Amino acid sequence: MNYGFIIDNRKCIGCHACTVACKAEHNVPLGVNRTWVKYIEKGQYPHTRRLFTVTRCNHCADAPCVEICPVTALYTRPDGIVDFNNDRCIGCKACTQACPYDALYIDPDLHTAAKCNYCTHRIETGLEPACVIVCPVHAIISGDIDNPSTEIAQLLASEPVQVRKPEKNTRPHLFYVGGDEAALTPTLASRDSDYMWSSQSGKVGHGLKSDSVGGAGGEEGASFVTTLLKYPENLSAIGESTAQFANESTEIGIEKSRRAYDVPSEGVMWGWEVAAYVWTKAIAAGAVLVPFLAAALGLSNQDSAVGLTSVIFAICFLGFTGALLVIDLDRPERFFYVLIRPQWRSWLTRGAYIITIYGFLLSIWALADVVGLDTIRDWLHWPIIIFAGLTAIYTGFLFAQAKGRDFWQDSTIVLQMLVHAFSAGTAGLLLLSTILPVIGFDRPLLHETLLWSLMVSALLLIFELWTVHPTLDGERTKRSITRGVFAPLFWLGIAGAGLLVPMLLLATGSPVLVAIAALLTLGGLFLHEHIWVRAPQLLPLS
């Protein structure tokens, strides 16, 4: 058995019967959908036409949501259906980033992920999914695609079909007959907040939680920090971006198209908490990686006070990292599921174990140093260096698993994470050495390390943003950073205040200016993580 769907766009009349039946069958809350119909209008008056596209989970043979889920809340059944168990879900939202088809949402009532599960309760009793039986024109066909006697297998054999985003190599089991490029490719049709009979200016589901940091950006009384963390506004940025992309598509010969009706945007799923956690993790890794590696390579004489201070400093920021990870979960009370119910292919699971082991090693090292167990302390030196490096880079592999976001599929992201750890850790230790001058930090070494790490960061940034990304969506994200809605923060905050100015201040050698350079470096790194996390999520996936 290998279940799949065919949507026959030659028949679909856009009646939304499938959407209503799905909501009724599964008690889907208002504002979110397991299946929905998108309307696309193409052409220019009076030569126009309207297209209807049914969208839902693709039940991929190689499902990225299953691979990234840290607790096996998502899994592939023997019959090919990608199902979920909301009793295991921790609400990490990784699946929403991994899915290229925008098929998953966070249930606003249960605060867990949910999606189309092919009506497994009906399939197991010999019935068809609810959406199939209510379709008045038989535009939705379900069944076993491996059985040549089934209608779906015969249609696949006799009709040309399309799938969405075949370049993702997910091998989707949702096929379209007569599908239109503008309907299947999300960025080809401009997106508005107002449609034929509805206004969708607000956000739903997890999008409401993303507003919990304060009012909307630019709202009266909103603080600078609130505005920064929510900049740019989700829906307006998406509308601006898709309109621009649709115009570009017209210029290269693709017929002008717009969305006449669509479901509300869920907003940014990974918000400031994820950016902050990447930032604190970089400090926690780099604060130990720099002095311990320097001592191991004979570049610096690390005394006990320096080592203990660096370790305690790293433990503090590792604690902040863990707290941010838990805060970001929609079911924070289940955070320990990652450790007791691990799904080992997920880099969220691997990362949780890496930072847990790293914290354990740091704690044992500190205890051994305090009680004078030098042998244990010396034996832990290289394991700590190794796990500090792993702590720095594992997030790069996690972002690479988020296949829905093309910009994160970058070959340099792991190296960037490592260099950021050196920059963040060194900057943190420089500030600490200013506050605690009695501890014998090797300031010349920290000074030189920060300067070199900033220069390498600048080179990596140039390489990433000025080389052609292999996908169009990756290029569009880069353009939004360098020439679009994020350009002011990028040029002034990251390139200017975060890289160029610190390098100039470090060149002076003045202790005060070096401390300012360290502070600016940390600020620039936070802006970098904030934009790199947020910008790719503003491109629509459906």
Residue 288 sits at the vertex; the CA angle it makes with 285 and 294, to the nearest 5 degrees, is 125
Distance of alpha carbon 18 from alpha carbon 339, whole angstroms: 39
- pLDDT digits 0-9 by tens, 253-307: 457 788 888 887 777 999 999 999 999 999 999 999 999 999 999 887 777 788 8
Tell whether the model's pLDDT for residue 86 goes beyond 80: yes
What mean pLDDT comes out for the span 318-330? 96
Which of 50-54, 250-254, 437-441 reaches the highest mean pLDDT?
50-54
> What is the number of alpha carbons within 13 Å of residue 254 lying toward its C-beta?
17
| Whole-number pLDDT of residue 207 | 56
What mean pLDDT comes out for the span 531-538? 94
| Whole-number pLDDT of residue 263 | 83
Tell whether the model's pLDDT for residue 237 goes beyond 50: no
Tell whether the model's pLDDT for residue 63 goes beyond 60: yes
- Residue located via tokens 């090693």: 361
Distance of alpha carbon 309 from alpha carbon 178, whole angstroms: 65
Sign of CA dihedral 502, 528, 389, 474: negative
Bigger pLDDT: 306 vs 387: 387
* Residue-averaged pLDDT of the chain: 89
Distance of alpha carbon 6 from alpha carbon 451, whole angstroms: 57
| Whole-number pLDDT of residue 215 | 34
| Whole-number pLDDT of residue 236 | 43
Sign of CA dihedral 230, 236, 239, 241: negative
Q: Max Cα separation, the chain?
A: 85
**pLDDT band at 232, cuts 50/70/90?**
low
- Measured CA distances, 345 to 103, 340, 411 (Å): 21, 15, 20
**pLDDT band at 192, cuts 50/70/90?**
low
**pLDDT band at 239, cuts 50/70/90?**
very low
Residue 280 sits at the vertex; the CA angle it makes with 73 and 214, to the nearest 5 degrees, is 75
- pLDDT digits 0-9 by tens, 362-375: 999 999 999 989 89
**pLDDT band at 327, cuts 50/70/90?**
very high
| Whole-number pLDDT of residue 247 | 53
What mean pLDDT comes out for the span 527-538? 95
- pLDDT digits 0-9 by tens, 110-155: 999 999 999 999 999 999 999 999 999 999 999 999 999 999 999 9
Q: What percent of the chain has pLDDT over 90?
A: 74
Distance of alpha carbon 163 from alpha carbon 12, whole angstroms: 17
Q: What percent of the chain has pLDDT over 70?
A: 88
| Whole-number pLDDT of residue 14 | 94
**pLDDT band at 45, cuts 50/70/90?**
confident
**pLDDT band at 231, cuts 50/70/90?**
low
| Whole-number pLDDT of residue 44 | 83
CB 467 within 8 A of CB 475: no
And the tokens for 255? Answer: 């017929």
| Whole-number pLDDT of residue 212 | 44
What mean pLDDT comes out for the span 505-518? 94
| Whole-number pLDDT of residue 221 | 38
And the tokens for 73? Answer: 């809340």
Q: Mind listing the domains of the chain with CATH numbers?
A: 3-192 (3.30.70.20), 272-538 (1.20.1630.10)
Tell whether the model's pLDDT for residue 7 goes beyond 70: yes
Tell whether the model's pLDDT for residue 440 goes beyond 90: no
Tell whether the model's pLDDT for residue 509 goes beyond 90: no
- Residue located via tokens 């140039």: 462
- pLDDT digits 0-9 by tens, 445-464: 999 999 999 999 999 999 98
